[in-house]
Structure 1
Amino acid sequence: MLNKLNYRDLRALYVFTVVADCKGVSAAQTILDMAQPAISNQLKYLEDKFGFTLCLRGRSGFSLTKEGEEVYSACLQLAGDLDQFYQEILQIQKVSSTLSGELNIALIDELPLILKKQISNTIARFYQEYPLVALNIEILSPHEIESRILNNRLDIGIGYFSQQLKEILYKQLIDERQQIYCSQAHPLAIKDKIDVEELLHHHSWVRRGYNLDPEIVPIRPSKLTATAKQMETTLLFIMAGTHLGYLPVDYATPYVKEGVIIPISEEFSYSVSHHLITKNPNSPLIKIFMKKLLLLP
């Protein structure tokens, strides 16, 4: 029973097709540059594998059997499919060797490590296939990213965006958990059980410099006495022992291991979704980068 084709099968099918086109083994010798016994062996190999006779050859001349005609027709279709495949490869080579220009990308600061790896792998694959394209990447706030996307000053943005604007396409990438942290010197660091009233109203908090979706954040501290626009500056306020604040667990973990900060009140943690955003998803460069980052076919 025939299970699948291998390289030898494809070679034998090519020999059979040439023999059928030439209407005989002898006439096919020159084209194939093969001796008659070798050609006959290829035909016999196919007939043994398929379990039926492909052609009649002898004193009465050469002719294809009914099954041989059907196999010949299938071979022509296969040859057409292979030619289409070859043309597509040529087109890919042409595009990859000639595609040029710039792709302007912005990220928010301190993305999750797994997302950083995903982006760096995408950059590597992109440059391997499109070496003439320049990728320009910078760090901006979510608001700045969305604003530049809307004004066509940016091609792609990656990060957390609290609200989705109808003019922009959003593609979800990864979720990230946010946790409350304080320093080892903070009064709450030594408490086994933390009173919610004290947590929310008796201690100072540092807030991020951009708005978070109020439906996602589970608490509303009353003493927001500091603002930090980057993750690094949020961490500084927490390390100072003067403020409580949220940090991504992935970002904070190394500092927790060093004993610099500690997580508290895990019941008030929450998750945010990071997205790739663009205004022009059909632009060739943007489309290619999106496919590679999102691992699309």
Structure 2
Amino acid sequence: MDVDLRRLRYFVAVAEQLHFGRAADALHIAQPALSRQIRALEDDLGVALFLRDRRGTTLTPAGRQLLHDAGPLLAAAQAAVRRCVQAAAPTQRFTIAFMPGITVTAAVKTLTAQHPHLDIRLLRTSWDNQTEVVLDGRADVSIVRLPVDPQGLRIQPLFTEPRVVVIARDHPLAGKDALSLTDLAGAHLLQDPAAVPEWQAETRAPHANAPTAVPVAHSVEEKLELVATGAGFCVLPQSTASFYTRPDVVVRPAPGLADNEVALVWSKAHETPLVHAFGAAAHQLQP
């Protein structure tokens, strides 16, 4: 059985929104047309993917399984198209993705010396897309901050570095030389809680106060803007905090936080001599 990738993309849009109207708007197609495409996909697969009633739209067990599998499948299709186009280019291109605060200059210079005619590109990533870029072919390798979902990836550890807390300079805790997780339990964490599992455990403790609801920030710049206004705090690797200095925030060590682990990742479906050459060069990177 062949699966229509366009219908699969439509399915993912509906599954993420759980609303046919919003998904149709995001896809820029009419809702009846979207509904027909989803029904055609269900007919092709011979299963129901959604339950629809007056209370809304939900995924069936088959729908949940397809959503889990659809991401890697669509990413692989995008990667195949991108690599096909790159293969036709007159100069071979190699794209290196990296997270904020990580300096890749030394490894890039080594790879350039080994392959002087290689067209090397750099791509800055964020917590949300640091592995996505290698799975969908935008980058050949990505230097990431763990943890990441290992599905479809090769992972090469590189180095570790301390994590620190960043708070507003006029925050009541700013005068302390170091901050414990207990100090921060009543504050708002301005990033994905999955990135700071130690703080999640602390806020479940009986002494913790419920933090004020504030939108979670995703980029470092967004986090620091919110920190400076006193909306909460963020946890950053020490190199990132040192790179993004500003006078209205302070950086404090937090002994309760584990070190950040930095690794090189690439797609299992795209292992090339250049990927391994960069992997060897990347061992010289340090925080």
TM score, norm. by length of structure 1: 0.53
Pairing 1:100-179 to 2, within 5 Å after superposition? 101-111=92-102, 116=103, 119-179=104-164
Distance change (3 Å), C-alpha of 1:105 and 1:211: farther
Q: Which amino acid aligns with 1:126?
A: L
**1:127 and 1:226, CA in 2 relative to 1: closer, same or farther beyond 3 A?**
same
Determine whether 1:291 maps to 2:274.
no
Letter in 2 for 1:147: E
Aligned twin of 2:228: 239
Rounded Cα–Cα distance in structure 2 between residues aligned with 1:273 and 1:187: 30
Q: How does 1:1-297 map to 2 (within 5 A)?
A: 101-111=92-102, 116=103, 119-190=104-175, 199-201=184-186, 203-208=187-192, 211-212=194-195, 214=197, 219-220=202-203, 222-223=210-211, 225-253=214-242, 260-264=248-252, 266-280=254-268, 282-294=271-283
Shift of 1:186: 1.2
- How far apart in 2 are the matches of 1:274 and 1:251? 12
| AA in 2 matched with 1:159 | V
Q: Secondary structure at the match of 2:159?
A: strand
| Secondary structure of the corresponding residue to residue 276 of structure 2 | helix
- CA distance 1:286–1:239, change in 2 (3 Å): same
Task: Provide closer, same or farther for how the CA distance between residues 186 and 132 of structure 1 changes in structure 2, counting only shifts above 3 A.
Answer: same
Deviations 1:228-268 (A, max 9, x none): 21222222222223322212223334778x76433457233
Give the superposition deviation at 1:215: 6.3
Extract unaligned runs of 5+ from structure 2.
Answer: 1-89
- Among the aligned pairs, what percent are the same residue? 16
**Alignment-derived partner of residue 23 in structure 2:** none
Q: Which has the higher helix share?
A: 1
Whole-angstrom CA distance in 1 between matches of 2:276 and 2:181: 47
Structure with larger RCO (C-alpha < 8 A, sep 6+): 2
CA contact (8 A) 1:159 1:274 kept: yes
- Residues 129, 189 of structure 1: alpha-carbon distance in 2 compared, 3 angstrom cutoff: closer
Q: CA deviation at 1:175?
A: 0.8
> Are the equivalent residues in 2 in contact too, given 1:100–1:130 (CA < 8 A)?
no
How far is the alpha carbon of 1:122 from its aligned partner?
Answer: 1.7
Structure 1 residue 270, shift from structure 2 partner: 2.5
Structure 1 window deviating more from structure 2 (272-281 vs 146-155): it is: 146-155
Kindly name which structure, 1 or 2, has the bigger radius of gyration based on alpha carbons. Answer: 1
Asked whether the equivalents of residues 109 and 230 of structure 1 are also in contact (C-alpha less than 8 Å), the reply is: no
In the aligned structure 2, how far is the partner of 1:132 from the partner of 1:146? 27
For residues 145-182 of structure 1, the C-alpha deviation after alignment (integer angstroms, 9 at most, x for no partner) is 32232233421010213234142110011112112232
**What residue ranges of structure 1 are gaps of 5+ in the alignment?**
1-98
Letter in 1 for 2:188: S
Q: Alpha carbons of 1:150 and 1:188: their partners in 2 closer, same or farther (altered >3 Å)?
A: same
- Preserved CA contact (<8 Å) 2:177 2:253: no
> How many angstroms does 1:276 deviate by?
0.2
- Give the Å deviation of 1:142: 3.8
**Number of residue-to-residue matches in the alignment:** 188
